[in-house]
Amino acid sequence: MRIIMPVEFSRIVRDVERLIAVEKYSLQGVVDGDKLLVVGFSEGSVNAYLYDGGETVKLNREPINSVLDPHYGVGRVILVRDVSKGAEQHALFKVNTSRPGEEQRLEAVKPMRILSGVDTGEAVVFTGATEDRVALYALDGGGLRELARLPGFGFVSDIRGDLIAGLGFFGGGRVSLFTSNLSSGGLRVFDSGEGSFSSASISPGMKVTAGLETAREARLVTVDPRDGSVEDLELPSKDFSSYRPTAITWLGYLPDGRLAVVARREGRSAVFIDGERVEAPQGNHGRVVLWRGKLVTSHTSLSTPPRIVSLPSGEPLLEGGLPEDLRRSIAGSRLVWVESFDGSRVPTYVLESGRAPTPGPTVVLVHGGPFAEDSDSWDTFAASLAAAGFHVVMPNYRGSTGYGEEWRLKIIGDPCGGELEDVSAAARWARESGLASELYIMGYSYGGYMTLCALTMKPGLFKAGVAGASVVDWEEMYELSDAAFRNFIEQLTGGSREIMRSRSPINHVDRIKEPLALIHPQNDSRTPLKPLLRLMGELLARGKTFEAHIIPDAGHAINTMEDAVKILLPAVFFLATQRERR
């Protein structure tokens, strides 16, 4: 066994800190007439900035979690801030764009889990979860009103006049479209019968334009909120239909009435205006706005931290610089298709390290969600592993978004089942293809759960594992959750107590044979700490090899550089230490 020398430890610390410190920007809209509203991971935390083409102006006094989506040109920004040391009890704050830093707390909104929201400049409409309900709220001159109770996770997409449109996970894992009325409230839910709705926006004609993701493709439809009728949307250009997307990640109407759409296929997106494709840098893109006569969006790739660019030139307007030595540590990326146990093909992104031999040490990095996707997008975890000399394999297991509803819904009623087989297949592919000399597994949130599933159900496949903010016991987690996450657990497990029990790693501790690192935020309200403390006791009682890192005063969402370092650094150092134990 070779012990990591201090100089190697110092390099890992330096590289992880530098990667976390790289400025990352996402575009939120146009406010204050003609300024871009940008949320950036900068200055050590998440902040809101105005960008006028020259300098950026910070709007908030203290770090934030997010902002509510603004209508074009409004003179204020609504900030969302955790006021519970990471437990995701959020408060709302208003700041006028003409007076940066002068925040006013919206006292009518008591702390709750804020899921989404839109600000019209006169009214704030948002969804929030408490222990006993998920609801749609409006805050305007008449005070705070509950417009409707929601059956599960719900997200406001758009407001036009009194019409509110949104999306929700209301049953069976599918995503429904809902509407409400700003004046009178109420709730109407629309299901297509053939798939899930994705992004939604209200057209000038007061119909809801939405993405509809079916078994293996995605298309654009209009929904008449009066009768729920659904029609395919015909666009002036055929570029969009020729692209044959499998996901629609964002859409919205520009001030001139044109429809902007961001669609995705095989982990990369394309931008369309009225169906015509706009040249854009390879990778992935966020919302699109019209700013001073040109199109602006956010852009990222596995080698490019999120930045703001103009289209079609791709000229960066706002970006953080990636140090050249760290850029070289990412040797390349590609998408491969891995055959799983039932003949399914698992779309898997591979990030090769410029600091590792081939074959070399390889980490299977499992994304959270599970309704999420690994794509050609920046991932600080993956970049840190590559800088530390690991190749990275990122499988889009069944349950992942971006590859059609049939693939996404395969996970319902089967957590720690088929998706674990997909992750295992990706690991075996890494070895059989000649990429991996030895295998490790790492994940955060649902990815941390996959680490625990792999070490309990697939002993011997991985040399060691890192489980961050992981699910440990579905039953206890259910009892500790608020209304939104109880509904999520019910949908994912099919409401089966037997599934919750049998698919909980706490009940299979005896099977763990490999070293395990546990990393968990103290105040996590999505995957609470209490079950993990019981797991630690079970591991200790059985003489298992493990280490544990509890991150004080932190929650599930990583919003500061300090928290990111405390979570990521022990993970990378643990894997680097295990790598040397041959």
User: CB-based contacts of 95: which residues, under 8 Å, 6+ apart?
Assistant: 48, 59, 60, 76, 77, 79, 101, 102, 103, 104
CA gap 513, 510 in Å, rounded = 8
Tokens 């591979």 belong to which residue?
A: 350
pLDDT at 8: 80
- Give me the sheet containing 35-42, strands edge to edge: 24-31, 35-42, 45-51, 56-58
The predicted-structure confidence for 22-39, as pLDDT tens digits, reads as follows 999 999 999 999 999 999
Q: Pull the structure tokens for residue 571.
A: 């993970």
C-alpha span between 316 and 309 (Å, rounded)? 4
552-567 pLDDT, tens digit per residue, is 999 999 999 999 999 9
Question: CB count, 10 Å around CB of 176?
Answer: 21
Q: What is the 3-class SS of 503-564, one letter each residue?
A: CCHHHHHHHCCCCEEEEEECCCCCCCHHHHHHHHHHHHHCCCCEEEEEECCCCCCCCEHHHH
Place of tokens 């069944």: 398
**Residue of 339, 423, 326, 323 lying closest to 382 (CA atoms):** 326
Spell out the residues 6+ positions from residue 441 whose beta carbon is closer than 8 angstroms to its own. 363, 364, 366, 423, 427, 450, 451, 454, 455, 462, 464, 465, 466
Which residues lie across from 516 on neighbouring strands? 465, 546
Mean per-residue pLDDT over the chain, rounded: 96
Q: How many CA within 13 A on the CB side of residue 399?
A: 27
Best CA proximity match to 283, nearest among 270, 301, 264, 296: 301
Place of tokens 């079609």: 312
CA distance 131 to 445: 21
Q: What is the pLDDT of residue 504?
A: 98
Under DSSP, is residue 372 helix (H, G, I), strand (E, B) or coil? coil
Record the tokens describing residue 413, joined without a space: 């009623």
Distance CA 361, CA 338 (A): 19
Cβ atoms 262, 211 nearer than 8 A: no
Look-up of token digits 């490019």? 304
Which pairs from 506-509 meet CB under 8 Å and 24+ separation?
506/472, 506/473, 506/476, 506/531, 506/534, 506/535, 506/538, 507/473, 508/456, 508/457, 509/456, 509/535, 509/538, 509/539, 509/542, 509/544
State the pTM of this model. Answer: 0.95
* End-to-end Cα, the chain, rounded Å: 6
| CA gap 345, 335 in Å, rounded | 12
Instruction: Give the catalytic positions in this structure.
Output: 445, 524, 556
Distance CA(552)–CA(548), nearest Å, equals 13
- At 239, phi and psi to the nearest 5? -55, -40
| Paired sense of beta strands 35-42 and 391-395, if any | unpaired
Q: How far apart are CA 456 and CA 94, in angstroms?
A: 48
Evaluate whether 107 touches 69 at the Cβ level (below 8 Å): no
Per-residue 3-state assignment (H helix, E strand, C coil) for 102-134: CEEECCCCCCEEEEEEEECCCCEEEEEECCCCE
- What is the pLDDT, as a whole number, of residue 192? 85
For residue 420, give the 3-state DSSP assignment.
helix
Encoded tokens for 239: 């570029």
Query: Could you tell me whether strands 113-119 and 124-129 are parallel, antiparallel, or unpaired per DSSP bridges?
Result: antiparallel
In 203-246, the DSSP E strands lie at 208-213, 218-223, 230-232
At 397, list the tokens: 């297991």
Question: What confidence score (pLDDT) does residue 1 get?
Answer: 47
Low-confidence ranges of the chain (pLDDT < 50): 1, 7
3-state secondary structure of 143: strand
